[in-house]
Structure 1
Amino acid sequence: MTNLSGPHQQQGDPKPAPRQVVASFDNYADAQRLVDRMSDGGFPVEHVRIIGDELRTVERVVGRMTKGRAAFAGAASGAWFGLFIGLLLAIFTVGPVWIVTMLTALVIGSFWGGVFGFVAHIATGGERDFDSVKSLEARRYDVCVSAELAAEAARFTQGP
């Protein structure tokens, strides 16, 4: 659990310092810009909180997941793992054999990664035939400060 009270507030302290909303924004970037302006202006930003309200998960579909794409993604992941194992094994080799060891591990990792990616996609039975990126967003971002600093913080909300 995050302590949203002041920086010197102890977790066991029953009464957190009161906060006041200085500005509200529809996106995080605008809230971040305000805090950056406050920091540049010398405001003690350790008393500032950006609070996201009404959190939601947003899943952006980026494409169709085919057997080929699943195999390719698995092969790429397996190649990285194979490269890592190859580097570990190459430490114990002498002479130019280390390159062969690394490349062999990379090819084997890529092959098995592709096989596992392909099989894993088939195992879903078409349940999820798309690829997506998930993110956590808020509907509103409030910039809050300690009540005693609210008047000073308000001067930063009048634009750049």
Structure 2
Amino acid sequence: MTTFTQQSTLGQQQARPQLPTLPTGWPIGSYESYEQAQRAVDHLAGADFPVTDVTIVGVEPMLVERIAGKMSWGRVLGNAATSGAMFGLFLGLVLSMVNPGAGLVPIVIGVVAGLGINLALGSLGYAASRNKRGFVSQSQLVARRYDVLSQPRNAEKGRALLADLAARSAFIH
């Protein structure tokens, strides 16, 4: 959900933090995707419409979790080894720049230490939660539809501009 915020001038602090509020305004368009709603607001901005009066509202939000794969010991250890070695390499490079006479010793120690520590931590974490979740996923918040709202003083003009956009889009397709 989008909320209106007040911008303060440079050096001037707001008296209180902005709290989430319900959106206000009249609906001037409704779209199946956020991309379409963005395109509508871009169209309004291109027509010199006061877009500061506009809000995009996701209606009927859903949390979508897409499964990326099965979690296994091999995957856990491989990811832990890779990230640990990269972090250790970074630390080793930094230490070797600080002490140029040390040669490759800080780099090797950094890689080995990063690899070992991350493998141990990754193994412990996976062993502790193995029975709870056997897969890797990515979550995303989406909405069933996206409404574009405008403050009443400009709502009719906004509806007309978006109707023009819809008519041109229908003509092109």
Q: Which moved more, 1:23-32 or 1:99-108?
A: 99-108
Structure 1 gaps, min length 5: none
- 1:60 deviates by 0.8
Tell whether 2:56 aligns with 1:41: no
Residues 23-62 of structure 1: pairs in structure 2 closer than 5 A: 23-62=29-68
- 1:155 deviates by 2.8
Equivalent of 1:104 in 93, 103, 109: 109
Equivalent of 2:83 in 77, 92, 114: 77
Tell me the number of residue pairs that the alignment of Structure 1 and Structure 2 aligns.
155
- Once the two structures are aligned, what percentage of the paired residues are identical? 32
CA distance in 1, matches of 2:99, 2:38: 51
Letter in 1 for 2:107: M
In the other structure, the counterpart of 1:156 is: 161
Residues 7-22 of structure 1: pairs in structure 2 closer than 5 A: 19-22=25-28
Structure 2 gaps, min length 5: 9-14
Contact kept, 8 Å, 2:81 with 2:119, in 1: the verdict is: yes
Distance 1:101 1:49, change over 3 A: same
Deviation by residue 1:82-138 (Cα, 9 ceiling, x = unmatched): 2342244234212472x5423431342123212322332122233211000011112
**Could you state the TM-score of these two structures normalised by the residue count of structure 1?**
0.78
Letter in 2 for 1:146: Q
Letter in 2 for 1:41: A
RMSD over aligned Cα, in angstroms? 3.1
Query: Partner of 1:154: helix, strand, or coil?
Result: helix
Query: Partner of 2:98: helix, strand, or coil?
Result: coil
CA distance in 2, matches of 1:96, 1:75: 25
Distance 1:104 1:155, change over 3 A: farther
CA distance in 2, matches of 1:75, 1:32: 41
